[in-house]
Structure 1
Amino acid sequence: MITALDHIVALSLDIDRAVDDYRLIMGADPVFRGESDGVASAVFSVGNTAIEILAPAGDGESAARLRQLFGAGTRLASLVFATVDSKEAHRLSGRKGLGPGEIIEGGQPALDRHWTRFRLDDGVMAGVRAFVIEADRDLPRPAASEGCVTGLDHLVIQTPNPDRAVANYSGRLGIRLALDRVYPKFDTRFLFFRIGNLSLEVVQQLTGANDGSGPDKLWGLTWAADKLEPVGDRLAAAGRSVSDIRRGRKPGTRVFTLRDHNLDIPTLFIEHSST
């Protein structure tokens, strides 16, 4: 039913500032910018997914709805999963209890890209806004350059109920659960779901764990690059606060953290050893 993570959606109050910040993060320009019904958008595309940034622009109905979402501040807002057959995915979503909404049509004419999509029930998805989309073509990819982000390594979701996450992401959506492990050193249970050459990393903090009835939360992003030094140098030269490069938790990886100008999304960069 689900073939990839088509894109993720982030919210900002200032589209120009968000584009400037993400242009530095990605080392590339957005592949799309537009405005419709009071909502400005920009899309940055990488090898295995994309991030769409939305911001209110004007006083339209959609802009008003978007402003209502800012009670929780600038943040990750939605997951948009890809499918090759939206009608069949809609049927299966209903059978699996995902509460799919109406299938709607849309697109980005500037990219000659058209799609059909539907929304999954927020309650079933434990508070995570999730959509399923069938697009007639992939988003364009920017030309690779030294120091650019090459893909999304993983997206972090916080949960008080990892068993519920397994039921949703693996059981209902059919995404492969690649790892389920408790690391006492980090006081955390980690679950990794693999989809389209990236991972959804679902984490539960063990100390203070409650009854598991609370919502899940889209939390952080880890972007991949062939070499970290050009990425870190570019960000530091622009006055961004970055950590030193350090060894990652996974053997053969190096990472560093971007502390600001990240849409208030915890942001990490990772390099995987080629050996």
Structure 2
Amino acid sequence: MITGLDHIVVLLEDIKAGATAYERLLGRAPSWQNSGEGADRVLFTLDNMTLELMAPTGFSVAADRIRNVIKIWGEGLASICFATSDVAKMHRRLERVALKPDPVVEVESQDSVSGAVLHWKRTRAATELTRGVRMFFLELESERPRSAVTTAAPVLGLDHVVVSTEDPEQAAALYGARLGLDMALDRSHQDWGRLMFFRCGDLIVEIVHRPVAGADRRHDKLWGLSWRVVDIEAARARLMAAGLDVSEIRAGRKPGTRVASLRDGTCGIHSLLLERTPPQPD
């Protein structure tokens, strides 16, 4: 039912500052901008997903709701939206696995720059049943326009989104058995904790369990993003030249990868650059 990751929503107080930060980080221009329902939105659409930046605007119930979320939880990752080719079937599955989906609604968005219009259908699972992570499911009528490359060594797409949990068995049941994502890896490490990788299109939903005494076992948290690049040395050099603090390159947790941590310029989101090293010929 789930064909990939459609988009991830990031809540911010200042939409202009956020758009500037992510244009610099991704090396790409915004692909869509609009306002409505109490929020300004800027979208960056990459090879395999869209990043949606959202900030409250004006004075309305919807805007106040967003401000209240930011006040309580801070800026950062707010929700995840899975792509589906048939939202009606997805809705029926969510009902069968007792995730109490909202009724399917049709949505329209107009880009404030080009005037183009997009249509989609979406539903949302009950957040109290998705372990505190806000989850939407969306069927797009047509593809979104891609974000234009603005510099050398841009980010290609998302490699994985990280979800932190204190109950790995329940999290695995949610993403695997109930949502139907395929588990690609399940391993434990004395330094990293337990890692579970679930395939979602051509990227990964990574569930991480690092035991913390007294932590909330009922609620998971969207924790971080790993951005895919072709040449990690070139991407790191570009970002450092732009004034960002980027760690040294090191071997990734997944064999055949190299990573570098972004220490700023991410609007407070834990973020990595990741390069998949090509397989060596026999």
Report what 2:98 is aligned to: 97
CA distance in 2, matches of 1:272, 1:55: 33
Matches within 5 A, 1:137-176: 137-143=142-148, 146-176=152-182
- Give the drift of 1:274: 1.6
- Give the drift of 1:137: 1.2
For 1:94, give the aligned amino acid.
Answer: E
1:240 aligned to 2:244?
yes
Matches within 5 A, 1:1-275: 1-70=1-70, 71-110=72-111, 111-143=116-148, 146-186=152-192, 188-206=193-211, 208=213, 213-275=217-279
Helix, strand or coil: the match of 2:129? Answer: coil
Helix, strand or coil: the match of 2:213? Answer: coil
Residue pair 2:244, 2:264 contacting (<8 A) in 1 also:
yes
CA distance in 2, matches of 1:274, 1:215: 37
Deviations 1:7-38 (A, max 9, x none): 01011000000000000111000101111133
Residue pair 1:118, 1:132 contacting (<8 A) in 2 also:
yes
Residue pair 2:45, 2:144 contacting (<8 A) in 1 also:
yes
- Give the drift of 1:143: 4.3
Q: How many residues align?
A: 273
State the identity %. 39
Residue pair 2:165, 2:217 contacting (<8 A) in 1 also:
no
Residue pair 2:158, 2:225 contacting (<8 A) in 1 also:
yes
CA distance in 1, matches of 2:173, 2:6: 21
Residue pair 1:180, 1:190 contacting (<8 A) in 2 also:
yes
Cα distance change of structure 1 residues 209 and 203 upon mapping to structure 2, 3 Å threshold: farther
- Give the drift of 1:104: 1.4
Please, what is the CA RMSD of the aligned residues? 1.6
- Give the drift of 1:251: 2.8
Deviations 1:103-136 (A, max 9, x none): 1111223343101111101111000000111110
Residue pair 2:29, 2:148 contacting (<8 A) in 1 also:
no
Return 238-247 or 3-12, whichever deviates more.
238-247
- Gapped regions of structure 1 (runs ≥ 5): none
Helix, strand or coil: the match of 2:169? Answer: helix
Structure 1 runs, 4 residues or longer, greater than 6 Å off: none
For 1:27, give the aligned amino acid.
Answer: G
CA distance in 2, matches of 1:249, 1:164: 23
Residue pair 1:101, 1:118 contacting (<8 A) in 2 also:
yes
CA distance in 2, matches of 1:209, 1:4: 34
- Give the drift of 1:87: 1.4
Deviations 1:68-113 (A, max 9, x none): 1111101100010111111121112111111101211112233431
CA distance in 2, matches of 1:140, 1:274: 29
TM-score, length of structure 1 as denominator length = 0.94
